[in-house]
């Protein structure tokens, strides 16, 4: 039903039509009960004229904010000249974006395939890895999210596995390196991630039929609760892959292009993947994704007849948008800005933790921050109900936050404002969250 702030009679008709005709695609969470009429910068505006501060950047994508003027200009100009082509045809915007992505990445990443969505990019990457290695088994984190298409969904363990029949054969999960809730501990109680990783691959080896092809992981697990692997973990993971002849595929759908404070999240660890996938942030809210790999891997795939011919592969309009996104990122040094503002945001959240005992942990990198609410800091007992209540109260007060939709993890917020967010908007978001916590979870 419509919110109390919506007085336009057409709003009721809108929700009635939505109930009658839309397929519900987000599980039990449903739709946010706000009719959004427009979006600009860090805010979306409802049909009733209420402005809501968007700390999710749309679907974690609009890193330049909504309706960025330079993106709008590129779309307006591009739609009148090159919108969509037969997939076998090439245009200047496609080759330009491929070149710019290649030059922004370390060697040997230089071959680019432009697609539409993150799931599609991961599907293409896994298809390539399987073809090149001649194997089929894929390893991913137990709390991963890589998409809803077949191979990507088979490598997704955070949700959506029940009721859809068999996943892809050879799909293996390893535990996420969660420092806040460690499953293997050192003498000082901290996460012993090396032991965890060793044991995980002992189990993978025991289950494998000798056909390990790829390891597909996010450098920071977003849907899994904003889990940031400790420094050294990715390097050790890559070594595990090398020892088994596997390709390391990094999914930077949410972490790529500045959000974590570096251009790509893997830069912090000094680890270059065999295949990199980008999406969400590359199009800054428009459907654009990329697979990037080495000339050696691309040549091997091509020799074996690699096929990933889709309707919107190499579309020129969104490729032009991708170059515009890179222009703004580079000119305004938004990766550095994300690092500075991310420190400011995290510091503000830690100050809130001093006043609100329900805040158990603040974690993440740059402007991808996780805030975990708990009923008891000592036991770290979470509460889906508490997280949902705080989320609703924030929305009532004018702040949209995204909550992790996993059973038992409904108290974890993914906070990801646009990289263009202002100091004042960050302060406003913290102020609203403070009030929501005070009225929903006092003490």
Q: How many residues does this entry show for the chain? A: 443
313-321 average pLDDT score:
98
Distance CA 434, CA 442 (A): 10
Contacts of 35 (CB under 8 A, 6+ apart): 2, 6, 11, 14, 15, 46, 47
pLDDT of 160: 86
Quick check: 70 pLDDT over 70? Answer: yes
Which strands, in side-by-side order, build the sheet including 247-251?
Answer: 109-115, 289-294, 275-278, 247-251, 212-217, 137-141, 171-174
The whole-model pTM stands at 0.95
Instruction: Using the predicted structure, report yes or no on whether residue 1 has a pLDDT greater than 60.
Output: no
Name the pLDDT band for 407 (thresholds 50, 70, 90): low
pLDDT single digits (tens) 98-152: 999 999 999 999 999 999 999 999 999 999 999 999 999 999 999 999 999 999 9
Structural domains in the chain plus CATH codes: 26-55+333-440 (3.90.1150.10), 72-331 (3.40.640.10)
Of 1-15, 71-85, 348-362, the one with minimum mean pLDDT is 1-15
**CA dihedral in degrees (113, 119, 124, 130; nearest 10)?**
150
pLDDT at 6 over 60: no
Q: Which of 111, 280, 363, 365 is labelled catalytic?
A: 280
| Annotated catalytic residue 254 | yes
Alpha helices in 278-333 (DSSP H): 295-303, 316-331
**Above 50 in pLDDT, residue 4?**
no
Q: Comparing C-alpha atoms, which of 53, 24, 48 is closest to residue 37?
A: 48
Distance, in Å, from the CA atom of 316 to the CA atom of 328, rounded to the nearest integer, reads 19
Interacting residues of 256 by C-beta distance below 8 A, sequence separation 6+: 263, 264, 265, 276, 278, 280, 281, 282
Among the listed residues 251, 269, 274, 298, the single catalytic one is 251
Nearest to 118 by CA among 220, 260, 253: 253
Give 404's pLDDT tier (boundaries 50, 70, 90): confident
The answer to whether 240 is a known catalytic residue is no
Burial-class residue 169 by CB neighbours within 10 Å (0-12, 13-18, 19+): exposed
Is 92 among the catalytic positions?
no
C-beta of residue 402 within 8 angstroms of C-beta of residue 56: yes
Q: Which entry of 254, 269, 361, 365 is annotated as an active-site residue?
A: 254
- Give the DSSP per-residue string, 163-192: TS----TTEEEE----SSS-SSB-TTSSB-
Radius of gyration of the chain (CA): 22
Cβ(353)–Cβ(395) below 8 Å: no
15 is catalytic: no
- For residue 3, pLDDT over 90 is answered with no
Reported as a single tens digit per residue, the pLDDT across 38-52 is: 999 999 999 999 999
* pLDDT band per the 50, 70, 90 thresholds, residue 443: low
Residue range 73-77: average pLDDT?
97
pLDDT in tens, 260-314: 999 999 999 999 999 999 999 999 999 999 999 999 999 999 999 999 999 999 9
Is the pLDDT at 405 greater than 70, yes or no? no
Lookup: tokens for 20: 């009658």
Quick check: is 218 catalytic? yes
228, 393, 414, 425: the active-site residue: 414
Beta bridge partners, 293, equal 111, 275
**Catalytic annotation present for 251:** yes
pLDDT at 369 over 70: yes
The pLDDT of residue 384 is: 86
pLDDT band at 25 (very low <50, low <70, confident <90, very high): confident
């Amino acid at each position: 039903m419509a919110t109390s702030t919506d007085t336009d009679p057409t709003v009721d008709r809108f929700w009635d039509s939505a109930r009658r005709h839309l397929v519900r695609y987000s599980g039990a969470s449903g739709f946010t009960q706000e009719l959004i009429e427009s979006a600009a910068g860090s805010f979306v505006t409802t049909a009733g004229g209420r402005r809501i501060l968007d700390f999710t950047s749309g679907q974690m994508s609009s890193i330049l904010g909504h309706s960025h003027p330079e993106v709008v200009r590129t779309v307006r100009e591009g739609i009148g000249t090159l919108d969509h082509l037969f997939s076998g045809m090439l245009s200047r915007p496609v080759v330009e974006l491929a070149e710019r992505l290649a030059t922004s990445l370390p060697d040997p990443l230089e071959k680019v395939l432009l697609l539409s969505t993150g799931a599609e990019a991961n599907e293409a990457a896994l298809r390539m890895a399987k073809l090149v290695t001649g194997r089929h088994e894929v390893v991913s984190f137990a709390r991963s999210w890589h998409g809803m298409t077949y191979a990507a969904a088979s490598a997704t363990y955070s949700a959506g596995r029940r009721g859809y029949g068999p996943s892809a054969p050879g799909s293996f999960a390893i535990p996420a390196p969660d420092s806040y809730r460690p499953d293997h501990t050192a003498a000082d109680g901290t996460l012993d991630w090396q032991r965890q990783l060793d044991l995980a691959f002992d189990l993978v080896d025991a289950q494998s039929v000798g056909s390990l092809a790829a390891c597909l992981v996010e450098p920071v697990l977003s849907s899994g609760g904003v889990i940031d692997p400790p420094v050294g973990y990715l390097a050790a993971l890559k070594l595990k892959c090398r020892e088994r002849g596997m390709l390391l595929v990094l999914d930077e759908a949410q972490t790529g292009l500045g959000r974590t404070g570096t251009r790509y999240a893997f830069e912090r660890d000094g680890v270059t993947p065999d295949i990199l996938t980008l999406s969400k942030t590359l199009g800054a809210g428009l459907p654009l994704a990329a697979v990037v790999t080495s000339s050696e891997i691309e040549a091997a795939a091509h020799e074996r007849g690699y096929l990933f011919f889709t309707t919107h592969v190499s579309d020129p309009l969104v490729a032009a948008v991708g170059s515009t996104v890179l222009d703004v990122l580079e000119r305004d040094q938004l990766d550095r800005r994300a690092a500075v503002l991310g420190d400011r945001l995290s510091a503000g959240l830690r100050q809130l933790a001093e006043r609100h005992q329900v805040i158990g942990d603040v974690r993440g990198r740059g402007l991808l921050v996780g805030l975990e609410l708990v009923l008891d800091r000592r036991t770290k007992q979470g509460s889906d109900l508490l997280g949902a209540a705080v989320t609703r109260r924030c929305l009532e007060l004018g702040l949209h936050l995204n909550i992790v939709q996993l059973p038992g993890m409904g108290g974890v917020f993914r906070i990801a404002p646009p990289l263009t967010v202002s100091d004042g908007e960050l302060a406003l978001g913290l102020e609203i969250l403070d009030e929501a916590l005070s009225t929903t979870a006092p003490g």
